[in-house]
Chains A and B, each alone.
Chain A
């Protein structure tokens, strides 16, 4: 197990290195002259050169890359071209906002998706199953901005039970913040419920049909005990990886939801940075999302290997 963990972490670090290379490559494909891009076509060449010197963009590529690596290790990406604020602060603020939304969405979606999926599997082919499958499919097929708008209309305006903007008063407690984040989180639940429920359903169905489940039934166990002891663990293994892949997306890919509910999150930050050619912010943002994604998959893999002895102990031993 320990060897597996070490190997898996080392692999994650290699991925991180690759990610930094890709970010660097893309960043350097975009503008030829950063100073010129920032100051505009009418600035004096001296000013442009001076800015490039300050930003370090006149250095050879290798030095620039090393600086990026150093930045990754020290979490220091210099200052934003756009606002002059330290990139670290800008990214941290938005990351905290995004995390609140993502964690709340996950906390709602995972239990709902698992329960929904398992329940659908147990009622396979009946009405409850069809409703859950159809709802899930519709939810994942309809774009976020449509479901968001619908929820705003229904819960925010018609029923007037939830605030339509995620802008809570300064200094609000956790409860209030959750209250304000509930509407955006619910629109995310609608989207991601389907993915998780579908995997959980498929996993449960195949576990229910397996021979070991029949063995347990033939031991004379009650249906509930069979489910608890033999079906669930095997059924939910594949779902864990699906949850992990969605986690990365929940942190960084929520532009529409962030715009609609006015959340100052990572997705919005990245788009603004890209538009303004604010490379340090963009690179740091991509990197942070990449790391979140990696950590999520890493945790999922470790969890799976812990739950599944075939991975933990290798195929033969």
Chain B
């Protein structure tokens, strides 16, 4: 925590950004990306920047570090790191600042490490730059890796980046970042590509190292929960400006800018369910870079906008109890009303999944062979999917979620003996051998609409082909059905003649959803459909999926690493670990507990935007290799509630512990309930 202004009088701020303006040259024309950003990170303070993609968070950080891409330039204002003006330093001085005072950690740790150099060499390099001898540098590299709690640092030093897991790679990057004992540590989406469990470990690590070193942190993240957990203060950015700033708790609990309110309302929080309420969306789009903006940058999308917002630059209004909190808005007095509306909205209509299972999985196994070794990717999966129901699949990467989805679709045929039964008829394992009817019945929406849609085709031709192939509709009828289809996915006729690259991420995903729904599918597999999208767009897509399900009575198999999203859309949840089902049950039961220890660990790893009490349940170590799974219960090596020998010797069967709630654990449910109640944070 930053405490005294007295202190910051003596020591220069870790980072001071003042009226920073940055342009990018696009085809020779400068386009404004940052429109006067100002904020200060005090020594030892942790400051977060939030906002949707394209708002200028990363650009701010890069500009402050002198790392702008070739076509970017600082057009005004200043940035100073530990009292040194980065924006006017010579190359040598800038190198010195980077070497001594500031470090950075990026989103993709795999890419941040040089693939052709050993870890030891890369870490040691930091120390030789600081003047250590070769041998000394190697020793200090070892110490640095130990400090980030890497097991077997000597072994890791001999390895190459691709031989480490994502979490280990990020630890190495953090070790390098802390090598110079920086005054400022910039973290740009440091946990975005990681599993929630690994994310929790990395965040714990950063927190404890920060306490040790006293480094100030600038954290950039689109995940509001991560920011809330890690930061003392936050700045909310929109269209290249900071529109609100304040203490993290105040900004998230009492947002003062309509945009912040919109962001928070778009999140599925407080255990929100599709049956309770629709998610709020922010209408409209982020302005294009360089676009001439009205006086208030948010006016086009603001529910409170009036004439004055277009004509007069909004004043900086002080808010909050702590110092430095402000908001740029003409209508701060009306924002609390906006928050109230958010809490009260919702239509409450239930979706009502019921009836016979339309899809039954019986003893589904998938085995890969690699180097003459068998890898059991899925083991004995037994699941039912009912009409109009969403089944959420949850688990860390490598747990078999996607493999299960592929086995259902027949893209990855299940082993002989496995049964995928659709409406009482067993399907062929491979899509190739399935009837046209069966293929139409099960469709998929992928995470990345960019690679799922043919770039050469227009929306009309993509959806037209889907109608022809999946529904057999051609000729005159096609036009009418096409209109219907785009209406269903909330596209307009003017989108029809555009190519995917001319659409935003959210619109592309609508096209992908439209394609999946063209043939009136019984089941749609959604594999992380909103992971690549911003919160407000995610909210719109989740609403669309919920609406389509209500109207078309289709069933979803829904995969997401975002538990809030899974909870919002799912009626039932299946938790996978190492290709085995750990727990299956109604969404509320699985989330509220008592839950399987693995589910418990997954849930406790998620940082909450509501600042809920942190649980200290952490999964140690890596997911074991599927080629060599642990004996007995596969989760026993990492289980925080392991009983003892029985867990190592016998695999617990998946049994019904409550009506509709199955679990594979040796611990009796009553005991789990007692254990989990005893540690309230864990629930």
Which residues of A come within 8 Å of B, CB atoms? 124-125, 209-212, 214-223, 229-230, 233-234, 307-310, 313, 315-317
Contacts and interface: CB of A to CB of B under 8 A. Distances in A.
Contact of B111 (A212, A230, A309): A212
B96 interface: yes
Contacts of A212: 111-115
Given A223-B91, A308-B116, A315-B162, A211 B126 contact: no
Nearest to A237: B116
Given A211-B106, A222-B95, A217 B114 contact: no
A316 B180 CA distance: 31
Nearest to A231: B114
B452 to A, nearest CB: 24
B682 interface: no
Contacts of A211: 106, 108, 111-112
B112 A215 contact: yes
25 contacts: A209-B69, A210-B111, A211-B106, A211-B108, A212-B114, A212-B115, A214-B112, A217-B67, A217-B98, A218-B67, A218-B98, A219-B99, A219-B129, A219-B176, A220-B95, A220-B99, A221-B129, A222-B95, A229-B117, A229-B125, A234-B115, A309-B116, A310-B115, A316-B162, A317-B163
B69 to A, nearest CB: 8
Interface string B138-171: 0000000000000000000000101100000000
B129 A220 contact: yes
A307 B116 contact: yes
Which of A210, A214, A223 has the largest count of B CB atoms less than 10 A from its CB?
A: A214
Contact of A309 (B99, B102, B115): B115
Contact of B180 (A220, A221, A315): A220
Q: How large is the interface on B (under 10, 10 to 19, 20 to 34, 35 or more residues)?
A: 20 to 34
B70 interface: yes
B103 interface: yes
Contacts of A219: 98-99, 125-126, 129, 176, 179
Interface of B: 65, 67, 69-70, 91, 95-100, 102-104, 106, 108, 111-117, 125-126, 129, 160, 162-163, 173, 176, 179-180
B160 A309 contact: yes
Contacts of A234: 114-116
Contact of B116 (A124, A218, A233): A233
A275 B67 CA distance: 63
A218 B104 contact: yes
Contacts, number: 80
A309 B112 CA distance: 16
A215 B113 CA distance: 7
Given A214-B67, A215-B113, A233-B116, 4 more contacts: A215-B173, A217-B98, A219-B129, A220-B98
Most buried by B among A209, A309, A313: A309
B95 A221 contact: yes
B193 to A, nearest CB: 12
Contacts of A217: 67, 98
A296 to B, nearest CB: 22
A219 B91 CA distance: 14
B98 A308 contact: no
B106 A214 contact: yes
Contacts of B160: 309-310, 313
Contacts of A216: 114, 125
A308 B115 contact: yes
A125 B67 contact: no
Contact of B163 (A124, A214, A316): A316
B217 to A, nearest CB: 15
A315 to B, nearest CB: 7
A138 B172 CA distance: 46
A215 B173 CA distance: 9
Nearest to B177: A218
Contacts of B91: 223
Nearest first, the 5 closest Cβ-Cβ pairs linking A and B are: A220-B99, A211-B111, A309-B160, A220-B98, A212-B114
A209 B112 CA distance: 11
Contacts of B113: 212, 215
Contacts of B125: 216, 219, 221, 229
A218 B114 CA distance: 13
A211 B115 CA distance: 11
Nearest to B109: A211
Nearest to B101: A220
A197 B114 CA distance: 23
Nearest to B25: A125
A125 B129 CA distance: 31
Contacts of B96: 220
Contacts of A220: 95-100, 129, 180
Contacts of A218: 65, 67, 98, 102-104
Nearest to B69: A209
Given A218-B65, A230-B114, A124 B106 contact: no
Contacts of B117: 229-230
A119 to B, nearest CB: 16
Nearest to A209: B69
Contacts of A308: 115-116
Contact of B162 (A124, A125, A233, A310): A310
A212 B160 CA distance: 13
Contacts of B112: 211-212, 214-215
Contacts of A215: 104, 106, 112-114, 173, 176
B183 to A, nearest CB: 13
A219 B173 CA distance: 11
B116 to A, nearest CB: 5
A125 B71 CA distance: 10
Given A220-B98, A223-B91, A309 B162 contact: yes
Contacts of B179: 219
A313 B115 CA distance: 12
Nearest to A307: B116
Contacts of A309: 115-116, 160, 162
A190 B20 CA distance: 48
A95 to B, nearest CB: 36
Contacts of B95: 220-222
A112 B271 CA distance: 64
A271 B106 CA distance: 58
A90 B112 CA distance: 55
B578 to A, nearest CB: 16
A220 B162 CA distance: 24
Contacts of B102: 218
Nearest to B130: A220
B368 to A, nearest CB: 13
Contacts of A229: 117, 125
B65 to A, nearest CB: 7
A207 to B, nearest CB: 9
Nearest to B67: A214
Nearest to B163: A317
A128 to B, nearest CB: 15
A212 B103 CA distance: 13
Given A220-B99, A223-B91, A313 B163 contact: yes
Contacts of A125: 70
A257 B103 CA distance: 56
Contacts of A316: 162-163
Contacts of A233: 116
A222 B99 CA distance: 10
Contacts of B114: 212, 215-216, 230, 234
Nearest to B126: A219
Contacts of B126: 219
A223 B90 CA distance: 13
A209 B126 CA distance: 20
Contacts of B65: 218
Contacts of A221: 95, 99, 125, 129
Nearest to B112: A211
A150 B95 CA distance: 49
Nearest to A221: B129
B60 to A, nearest CB: 16
A229 B122 CA distance: 10
